[in-house]
Amino acid sequence: MTEELHEIRLRVNGIVHTVSVPARRLLSDCLRHDLGLTGTHVGCEHGVCGACTVLVDGRPMRSCLMFAVSAAQHEDITTVEGLAGPGGEPHPVQRAFAECHALQCGFCTPGFLTLIAGYLEDNPDPSEEEAREAVSGNLCRCTGYQNIVSAVQRAAELRTAEVVGGPARAAEEAPAPQPHSEGGHQ
């Protein structure tokens, strides 16, 4: 059977993509297969593991529980590939994960990174208990959660230092147009 294709426009990490997908294409599969952004991982595909978490208009959501055709209504999607700053410098959450040894095999990591990046925007200074609650919806089977919880709090410190420090953060929050460092996409 030939499925009807829908042409959609998705703005991912600041770049607008036009793709043709069947209605049943999950956002997670669209990101990975149609856009080649394989940083978003797919674990359970029913919303339990959190590996596929991306930011939709700044809010962490499960990309396996959204259809790409429906996600196209949103302004902006950020995947793990889009967390780094304009000059490629790692996001505070990424630096904190490296510092605190919050990843081992790395499979769950993109989901945690996007989740925590979104979480800290609304909760810039979480207690340990709040940090634990914040990551409770994402599963990790090898690193262990202690270091991930530590990394949430460390990321909050690094992020706050950047906000106070000014320029790096200001650049990150600058609205479109995006820098043209990604070479030719549009």
Binding site residues, other proteins, CB under 8 A: 1, 3-4, 6, 22-24, 26, 29, 45-47, 50, 53, 56, 59-62, 64-67, 69-70, 73, 115, 119, 133-134, 136-138
Least separation in angstroms between residue 65's CB and other proteins is 5
d(CA 139, CA 162): 29
Least Cβ distance, residue 73 to other proteins (angstroms): 6
- Alpha carbon separation from 165 to 5, 153, 157, 171 (Å, rounded): 48, 18, 12, 12
Burial of 122 (0-12, 13-18, 19+ CB in 10 A): exposed
Cis peptide before 177 (omega within 30 of 0): yes
Instruction: Find the shortest distance in angstroms from Cβ 183 to other proteins.
Output: 32
**Nearest CB to other proteins, comparing residues 123 and 178:** 123
- How far apart CA 56 and CA 66 sit, in angstroms, is 10
Nearer to other proteins, 6 or 101 (CB): 6
Q: CA angle, 17 as apex, 186 and 184 as ends, to 5°?
A: 25
- Of 22 and 86, which has the nearer Cβ to other proteins? 22
Tokens found for residue 178: 């995006």
Is residue 23 within 8 Å of 6, Cβ to Cβ? yes
Smallest distance from the beta carbon of 179 to other proteins, in angstroms?
Answer: 28
Q: Which is nearer to other proteins, 70 or 86 (CB)?
A: 70
Cβ-based nearer residue to other proteins, 58 or 86 = 58
Min dist. Cβ of residue 53 to other proteins (A): 6
Measured CA to CA, the distance from residue 151 to residue 169 in angstroms comes to 19
